[in-house]
Amino acid sequence: MTLLLTEGQVEELIDMPATLDAVEAVLRQQAEGRATNRARRRVALPKSGLNVMFAGAPEIDALGLKAYTVARGGARFYTMLFDPETGGLLSILQSDKMGQMRTGAASGVATRHLAREDARTLGIYGAGWQAESQLEAIAAVRDLERVIVYSRNEQSRKRFAAKMGERLGMDIETTHAAEEPAAQDIVVTVTSSGGPVLHGEWLRPGTHVNAAGSNFLFKTEIDREVVKRAAFVCADAREELGLEAGDLMPSLETGAILPEAVYELGQVIAGHVPGRKSPEDITLFASQGLALEDLAAARVVYDRAVERGVGQKIEF
């Protein structure tokens, strides 16, 4: 039997603590050669596009793919979770919320391992839906004393501050000064901008940066100075450097950073590379999003659905 789970059901079943743990565990498995990921593949048509990502992680009984279409009416996300032993289709999950949560969780895991232990302030570029899970995840791994948000639209950043402040029980500041969020201990970029919103000259020593809004080669939220100043740079997977890592591409093309100097977040988690070496280091995580992260979150949701009797069972 295959379990169908809607967006509403997924939202009821998923939470950030479990997603953080699941994403961290599967990235460790990837680094240790115990999980397999394949980068996103895209089909572009005049009025729509299809994107598909694949992965397998036998230790969490997860094999599958995420597929999503993008058209004038918006994006539609679906994850198919298979049993790696039998090949049976366990579940089809609507995956918009799940994708938001795993993207935030990846930044949370990066922050857990790369930000200074005493990091207490967060600056966010972007005030949209994706920014919500970024804040939620980072607040789960660091005891934040100050959060400040910048976006081009004043009403958007004020709505975000009010909504997330109430949800997390904290005061969230907004600013019209683009350089102010960059002066914090942890900085996140998660915007729809096609050009840099964060400039390296604004960063202070010791900052950790999560660049989370770009997964196209022609889109970058950070300038080359951010990459140049970073003592440590990592991504979800090095496989994506020539495919999707738009935030790193200008620096890679000009030789400002070599591909060999970009590590994988899982290598840090597994202890294969040290990551931050000094309190003065600037560290950078270029988040692209992996199918492994989607499957790790899907497994959490599916197991909870089975336990609680949620979802519609169908037989093919």
- Which residues are part of the catalytic machinery? 66
Residues contacting 242, CB < 8 A, separation 6+: none
CA neighbor of 283 nearest in space, from 225, 219, 226: 226
Residues contacting 20, CB < 8 A, separation 6+: 105, 108, 109, 112, 137, 140, 141
User: What is the rounded CA–CA span in Å between residue 173 and residue 40?
Assistant: 36
Q: Edge-to-edge, what's the strand order for the sheet holding 121-125?
A: 172-175, 146-150, 121-125, 186-189, 208-211, 283-286, 232-235, 262-264
Helix, strand, coil share (%) of the chain residues, nearest 5: 40, 25, 35
User: What is the rounded CA–CA span in Å between residue 237 and residue 179?
Assistant: 29
CA neighbor of 13 nearest in space, from 88, 94, 113: 94
User: What is the rounded CA–CA span in Å between residue 268 and residue 290?
Assistant: 16
151, 160 in Cβ contact below 8 A? yes
Secondary structure (3-state) at 68: strand
| DSSP-assigned letter for residue 281 | -
Amino acid type, 197? V
